[in-house]
Amino acid sequence: MEPLPDRRGEWFVPSFGPLRFRLWVGLLFLPYTGMVVSYTVVGGMLAEKIDWTRVGAVALIYFLGLGVAAHALDAIGGEGAKPWGRHFSRKELWIAALAALIPAYGVGIYYIVTATPRLAVIALLEGFFLFAYNLEWFGGRFHTDGWFAFSWGCLPVLAGYLIQTNTLSTPSLFAAGAMGLLSLVEINASRPYKALKRTGGIDSGTHLKRYEAILKNVSFGVILLAAGMAVWRWGF
């Protein structure tokens, strides 16, 4: 079995503060979490009328659901702990996942019951992928790039739009597809990046820099896109 890489030196892990703090921040994969949260904003900005409280609510749901819960479950992994799982006990990771999921679904259920019942479809799908993808259920059948793009690229856009309108539209579907493709770019750069970090190889330093540049540009580009759309709609 190949040794697991030590990810404390990743570009998204702060170089300051106590080690425990750095590890928890690293576990959140903040640039990638920021991408997914931004997808919800992109979806919300497509609505004719915007309830900014709902924009914040769905952003919070995905921050807790992906940033904390999904990454904690991913650290537990399918067959043995993944790199971050070496720094936390299974108990700590399960507590973090559940502590994030309870308020995330609490907020989601509130809006499902009071305003946007069709959001329940997204909630059920995301709940399934949260466990099936990260814990590699069903022999890892859903732990693929395609399902990653669908669950953490397409669905967040639709959730952001649904929580505003309780329906879908052609523009929201096109936007969901576009963000899904950007998620494919991210995951297709992330996998070889992690492989090079783990095994090295010929000219690995140069290739690492290239993949790291792709990951930085895609994640920050999506975040800036969402911020720009929000600033634009705020003026209306």
| 61-119: pLDDT as tens digits | 999 999 999 999 998 875 545 666 677 888 999 999 999 999 999 999 999 999 999 99
**138: region left, alpha or beta (phi > 0 left; psi from -120 to 50 alpha):** left
Which residue did the predictor score with more confidence, 109 or 211? 109
pLDDT of 167 over the 90 cut: yes
In-domain check, residue 5: no
State the residue for tokens 């946007």: 116
CA distance 194 to 212: 10
Q: How far apart are the first and last CA of the chain?
A: 57
Q: What does the alpha-carbon distance between residue 10 and residue 64 come to, in Å, rounded to a whole number?
A: 22
Q: Do 98 and 159 meet the contact criterion of CB atoms below 8 Å apart? A: no
Residue 11 lies in a domain: no
Sign of CA dihedral 23, 64, 128, 172: negative
Q: Are 126 and 151 in contact (CB under 8 A)?
A: yes
- Overall domain count for the chain: 1
Q: Is residue 17 domain-resident?
A: no
Residue 120 forms part of a structural domain? yes
Lowest mean pLDDT among 28-37, 95-104, 109-118, 133-142: 133-142
Residue 211 lies in a domain: yes
Domain boundaries, position 179: 32-234
Specify if 23 maps to a domain.
no
In a domain, 9, yes or no: no
At residue 82, the pLDDT reads: 64
Percent of the chain with pLDDT over 90: 66
Q: Whole-model pTM?
A: 0.90
Is residue 61 a part of any domain in this protein? yes
